[in-house]
Amino acid sequence: MNEILARLQRLEDIEAIRKLKARYLHACDRKNIVALRDCFAPGNIHIDYGAIGCFDNREDFLRVYQEKACHPEVIDIHHGHNEQIEWLSPSAASAIFDLFFYQIDTRTGMLIQLGGYYEDQFRKQDGQWAISSTRFVVTSTVVSNVSSGNLQPLFQGVAPPPI
């Protein structure tokens, strides 16, 4: 019976991690800083989002996120999929989540489409799973501009040059 209960707990943990990542992506799209903060573990963590920056705590990341993304003219769409969650112990897990990201800046007419994946680590504290380490790797990028009324491609490749 203990083996069945342990297997059930493992399945519940994996589902909780899947839901956590969905909450994270939804909070990013909605610019919900409070919900976004709750997705990360408190204290010392690791966030490596490449060109956006590397952070060792959630508060520093949230400041940059709020500065860059939390504007009414910036519309984000995060679609996570192909999750591969590995349960390591009752308090640790890792996962890879693929991401399709699309951003529209209605002020400048910039359109950004990214493909990539997250490499995440999770820890469970006080019965709740949280992201303790995350790294995003860009695998494809398309940057365009529509401010002139026509679609003008600016970059196609892996990682764009600074714009």
All structural domains of the chain: 2-157 (3.10.450.50)
Given the structure tokens 């501009």, which residue do they identify? 145
CA-nearest of 26, 14, 28, 47 to 131 is 47
Given the structure tokens 């006080």, which residue do they identify? 126
Of the pLDDT bands very low, low, confident and very high (cuts 50, 70, 90), residue 160 is: low
What does the pLDDT average to over 94-117?
A: 97
Judge whether residue 162 has pLDDT over 80.
no
| Distance (Å) of CA 36 to CA 2, 31, 73, 111, 139 | 35, 8, 20, 24, 24
Looking at residue 47, what is its pLDDT?
98
Looking at residue 48, what is its pLDDT?
98
Judge whether residue 87 has pLDDT over 60.
yes
Give the distance from CA 51 to its chain's centroid.
Answer: 14
Burial class from Cβ neighbours inside 10 Å (0-12, 13-18, 19+) for residue 131 reads buried
Of the pLDDT bands very low, low, confident and very high (cuts 50, 70, 90), residue 161 is: low
Judge whether residue 125 has pLDDT over 70.
yes
> E strand or H helix at 135, and its extent?
strand 128-145
In the predicted model, what is the mean pLDDT of the chain? Answer: 95
Contact (CB, 8 A) for 78 and 68: no
Q: What is the pLDDT of residues 11-62, one digit of tens each?
A: 999 999 999 999 999 999 999 999 999 999 999 999 999 999 999 999 999 9
